[in-house]
Structure 1
Amino acid sequence: MTCLNLSLVLLLFCCGASCEVLQHFTDVPSCKNFFYQGQEPLGLSSNATANICQRLGGNYYYATLYHRLARVPIYSAYILEVSTTSRPDLSSSNWYLEPMLAGIGQKDMLQPSNSAMSIEMDDVIESQAVNDDYRNSGLSRGHVNPSMHHSSSSQLSTFTYTNMAPQDATFNSGTWNVYETFLRDKILSTCSQTHILSGVIVSGFNPTKGKWLRNRVNVPDFFWSAFCCVHRDGTKRVEGRLGRNSSPYDTVTKTLPELEEILNKTYEGPVILFKNGCQ
């Protein structure tokens, strides 16, 4: 895609968008809180990304940096919560979409059947991944921000296609699930507050490179995550993980500088995930 065509595509997506697609996450105080000390990561955004403050039922639940062309979230920023409910029983055909990415003047994520989107569904499909992209693909709809890290309606808000990336089922239910469970069961109980950034390393930024679903949705090479835990005595713990989205599905512990250096090689960089390195 040429720079001119890219500019036209982004203009189409942005026209008429609500304020929930932001120039900076910090423009909305409720969204700023999802980042450690209110500072969003540096070096991961580009002209092809959109800052989404994820909102459902008038409430904000987490922040997403969404890549419009790869149609996957580069990262999600959220605060780890106690899970108070079971996984929502919601058919994947009813998972939420983001009307603001298609220029529809709605602030909340909406289900595909919502009348506010149905008459402009072609624009919605162009602007983001949808259920049909994943159907019969052999890959899971992988939560970048896992539902198990949230409570009640916050958990429901993670079931949106702007929070999904194609994930190998063995990896999804294997080593990556072990890590997500470790955060919920071990880290949450020892911290007064834990900020998490979880994202992907794409295999390509356009369908001529990497692996794609239906030439629309990029299949990431890796999933990554970093947490900044503030203990009750004021001390802190920061770690990263890097998981391979293909055999042998290894998930490896990384220091924050190591993870940032890996991300530097794919994104525009220099990448800084947490302010002052969570120190």
Structure 2
Amino acid sequence: MGLLVLLGCVSLWAGLALAEGGSSFINCQQYLYKTAEPEGFDTQETRKICQRFNNAYHFATLYDRQRLTPHWSAYTLKGKSCDKQPQRKSSWFVEPQLKDGNTCTEMKIESESGLGKHERNSTQAISEDYENTNYDRGHLNPNSFQCGSGRTATFTLTNAVPMDPCFNRIHWGKLEKSLKDKLTINCLNENGTAYLVTGAVGGTEKIPKENGDKEGDRERTYERVAVPSHIWTDVCCDNANNNRKFSFAFLAENKEEPTLQVFPAEQLNEELRKMYKSLNIRVLADDCNAQSPKTEEVIESMKKDLNGAFRDLKIEFQYSPPSKKKKVFG
């Protein structure tokens, strides 16, 4: 198997590997609103990944090889329904391309990656990092938003961050379900394209922790993977009919009893600039018609789904007329 993997990777030409392995999103720019990537997140340790599985590109990720987590994943909502979906994966993928000089551009399960354990965990998180930590491998690009191979492709550790299990399975899970339903009705069914970027703001905590490891007799490196303090999503429904085009953003705490803020895309930029201490951050190419009446309609319908799902739900938007500011606490 190892030889087959090696041959399969070597056969990919170097130009393709360069485009996928850190320098460009050219092969997956269809997942970026106006083909423009988020700005202000790049560092010397970040790598741009066009997430490739079964010879197809499924979404884009900016990955941090120092924090061992993605800064963000950009994707689109696929289809109104998905028939005969693959079973949820128990084994997650890793990215051989994150190792400098590796030309394999397709995600692989760890045993078939062609990399030794040290080579794998020197540039990315591995499944062992999450064992006995009380954290989930939380998707940024949700598997429920994708179909077929695209759904399987979300199970790569370069699309995962440590999430509090209550936050991931209950609070954020309810938000994802409501968001998918509302985007299907108000965007896909109206001939629009739903572009989303979900990201994680790095905190100070790292996993795994030695004092929480139940298997203390094994060799394991501790304090590796950064636990995010917040999870955010920017949503843009692009539509040729400007009256049907809308956008908004979410920002939530990654903890058992989180708060959730809902506001315009530009306000998310401002919040992230404070958190990252950088004035250059911009997620979407523009505000994607944030002041559209359609925005208010979709948010109000989501509010009904999310009441009680978060400790504190704060929705803040300024709709027309511009002089009035609406602030709702649920």
Q: TM-score, normalised by structure 2?
A: 0.72
Tell me what 1:198 maps to: 198
CA contact (8 A) 1:200 1:222 kept: yes
> Aligned partners of 1:59 and 1:217: how far apart in 2?
28
> Aligned partners of 1:271 and 1:231: how far apart in 2?
25
Give, in angstroms, the shift of residue 250 of structure 1. 1.9
> Aligned partners of 1:99 and 1:195: how far apart in 2?
27
Does the alignment pair 1:273 with 2:283? yes
Give, in angstroms, the shift of residue 124 of structure 1. 1.1
Give, in angstroms, the shift of residue 231 of structure 1. 4.2
> Aligned partners of 1:37 and 1:187: how far apart in 2?
19
**Structure 1 pair 89/276, CA: closer, same or farther in 2 (3 Å)?**
closer
Give, in angstroms, the shift of residue 211 of structure 1. 4.0
Letter in 2 for 1:74: H
Give, in angstroms, the shift of residue 157 of structure 1. 0.2
> Aligned partners of 2:145 and 2:132: how far apart in 1?
27
2:271 alignment partner, one of 249, 262, 267: 262
CA contact (8 A) 1:190 1:232 kept: no
Letter in 1 for 2:37: E
**Structure 1 pair 162/123, CA: closer, same or farther in 2 (3 Å)?**
same
1:165 alignment partner, one of 161, 167, 170: 161
> Aligned partners of 1:167 and 1:87: how far apart in 2?
24
Residue correspondence of structure 1 range 58-77 to structure 2 within 5 A: 58-77=55-74
Tell me what 1:18 maps to: 17
Does the alignment pair 1:241 with 2:236? no
Does the alignment pair 1:53 with 2:54? no
**Structure 1 pair 87/176, CA: closer, same or farther in 2 (3 Å)?**
farther
Give, in angstroms, the shift of residue 251 of structure 1. 2.0
Does the alignment pair 1:134 with 2:133? no
> Aligned partners of 1:165 and 1:100: how far apart in 2?
19
Does the alignment pair 1:79 with 2:76? yes
> Aligned partners of 1:95 and 1:128: how far apart in 2?
13
Question: 1 or 2 for the larger relative contact order (CA 8 Å, sep ≥6)?
Answer: 1
CA contact (8 A) 2:86 2:148 kept: no
> Aligned partners of 2:157 and 2:206: how far apart in 1?
18
Aligned length: 253
Specify every segment of 5 or more residues in structure 1 that has no aligned partner in the other structure, as ranges.
Answer: 1-15, 204-208
> Aligned partners of 1:68 and 1:17: how far apart in 2?
21
Letter in 1 for 2:232: W
Residue correspondence of structure 1 range 89-238 to structure 2 within 5 A: 89-91=88-90, 94-103=91-100, 104-114=102-112, 116-118=113-115, 120-191=116-187, 192-203=192-203, 209-213=204-208, 214-231=222-239, 233-235=241-243, 236-238=245-247
**Structure 1 pair 262/256, CA: closer, same or farther in 2 (3 Å)?**
same
> Aligned partners of 1:216 and 1:69: how far apart in 2?
9
CA contact (8 A) 2:136 2:168 kept: yes
CA contact (8 A) 1:81 1:188 kept: no
Give, in angstroms, the shift of residue 89 of structure 1. 3.0
The structure with the largest alpha-carbon Rg is 2
Give, in angstroms, the shift of residue 87 of structure 1. 6.3
Give, in angstroms, the shift of residue 237 of structure 1. 0.8
Give, in angstroms, the shift of residue 100 of structure 1. 0.5
What fraction of aligned residue pairs are identical, expressed as a percent?
A: 30
Counterpart secondary structure, 1:127? coil
CA contact (8 A) 1:175 1:251 kept: no
- Of 188-197 and 225-234, more deviation after overlay is shown by 225-234
CA contact (8 A) 1:67 1:74 kept: yes
> Aligned partners of 2:40 and 2:198: how far apart in 1?
15
Q: TM-score, normalised by structure 1?
A: 0.85
User: C-alpha deviations, 1:77-98, integer Å up to 9, x for none?
Assistant: 011113515463321xx21100
Counterpart secondary structure, 2:251? strand
CA contact (8 A) 1:117 1:124 kept: no
